[in-house]
Amino acid sequence: MQIDGAYIPRRWTALGSEGQALRTLIIAAGICWSVLFVMIGLRYGLQMYADGSIFSYSVAAEDAWKFHWHNISGRLFVFLYSYAPAEAYVRLTGDAHGGIVVYGLLFFAAPLFGLVATYAADRSRGRIMLGYACLSTACLCPLVFGFPTEVWVSHALFWPTLAVGHYSRGRLAGVAVFVMLLALILSHAGALIFAVTILMTLFLRGSRDAAFLRALGCFVAAVAIWAVVLAAFRPDPLVADILYRAALHVFDIAILSGDLVLLLLVTVAAYVAAFCALRRFAGRNAHLHAAAMVAAALAVYWLWFDHALHADNRYYLRTLLLVVTPMLGALAGMHALYAEGRLQGSWPLLSGVVAAATGPLATRLAAGAVGLVMLVHAVETAKFVTGWERYTAAVRTLATGSLSDPALGDARFVSSGRIGDDLNRLSWLSTTPFLSVLLAPRLAPTRLVVDPRSNFFWLSCATATASAEADRAIPVESRRLVQRYACLHDQG
């Protein structure tokens, strides 16, 4: 059967408007969120949230590689994609604030670019992979939105790389697959999981299939280049130890105990229970009634009982992207092959999984679940940006005021402890000084806002001194404040 020029298997179209409604909902959600990421991110300056403060400061200071990125050279693509262009803009124009905006624009736009690239590369029947890419973007990306984790870019690269691996044709097919895999692997070490997932879905085509063999060769070459980059640019000893300890906790199960994850789990569980209870009475509309009931319960919770704020856990939930994205990618690959008739004979068990996942019951159940997840993400994102706006206003007030806390090491320093505990839930201890510079008019604070609880310091005295003595777009007095702070806590 043809729909908008694309072939759709008959068993899917048997769902009629329900199946089309779910597809429309998912694609619309993915596109809307990818656009909102850019609009909200730039409107509220979320590129400066948490580690984003030092990253934005490093762009404005034209020293991103020297400040930090030489320590994480395995993520070179992210540096070349979002930091190098922004830094080049500052160098050409002398507009430090504009460079921060360019960095934020490129970073937040990664999911949108990923969806556009997936649309262009996806030749599956009915553009199945695009649908899964939109589902993943809408359901997973809001979990980390605002925190500058490189997994954000890995996720954006995964979907077009999956599509290119399966459907790239012609003389330059091998080049396209290699370039996409190399970019993916050089975005984050965890992206190796993504790359292996792509190979696994291609293996389902057959161990001698040209697409699988081509991707396998490109994968080996890309991993070799990744290893060379890591060997050529080794991290500083202190940072290397921190990165090693952080890697050990990437897949810590305790990450799933955060307020937002629990809220999502309870929401989905309550919806499934309500759906099962109403199926006998509401029939085909059970999912609508169940979703309405759970939405009403959520409204009561948010209005009268909710005191949680999804802030610092945005960093740790990158783990969910690393785990769930490959699962969706594997299902997308199997679904696409199922539509081509490739699974039914060779992989009957996987064929049954796809058939169950795309059946009428699963379709109705998924529609309500996706709608509720979008509702939770919308409300929690609104709470986050509202809190962030209030917090940055408080930091700006301290940075431009006359209060000071000389006990911190300098009469030009002021403690972030003067901000109330409720707003300080948005703080990120180690980057508060850089945020106070970024928020001040013309990047020229009268006070450097310092969190006395911080036990990690991004810049050595030598690095901060070299930055202070260089010709940069950030006012020299601001760089000297940062130099003074760094030299008080020199990490060597």
Per-residue pLDDT tens digits for 125-182: 989 999 999 999 999 999 999 999 999 999 999 999 999 999 999 889 999 999 999 9
Q: Which two tokens stand for residue 299?
A: 């409204």
Rounded-to-integer distance, Cα 287 and Cα 364, Å: 6
What is the per-residue pLDDT for 361?
86
Q: Is 6 helix (H, G, I), strand (E, B) or coil?
A: strand
pLDDT lower than 50: segments of the chain:
1-16
Number of C-beta neighbours around residue 346 at 10 A: 12
What is the per-residue pLDDT for 255?
81
Q: Is 460 helix (H, G, I), strand (E, B) or coil?
A: coil
What is the per-residue pLDDT for 485?
97
What is the per-residue pLDDT for 489?
86
Residue type, 185: I
- The answer to whether residues 340 and 125 touch, using CB atoms and an 8 Å cutoff, is yes
Rounded-to-integer distance, Cα 38 and Cα 104, Å: 8
What is the per-residue pLDDT for 18?
67
Number of C-beta neighbours around residue 377 at 10 A: 23
| Cβ partners under 8 Å of residue 123, min gap 6 | 163, 166, 167
What is the per-residue pLDDT for 118?
98
Rounded-to-integer distance, Cα 336 and Cα 129, Å: 7
Please, is 382 exposed, middle or buried when counting C-beta atoms within 10 Å of its C-beta (0-12, 13-18, 19+)?
Answer: exposed
Note the Cα 123 to chain centre separation in Å: 26
Rounded-to-integer distance, Cα 178 and Cα 215, Å: 7
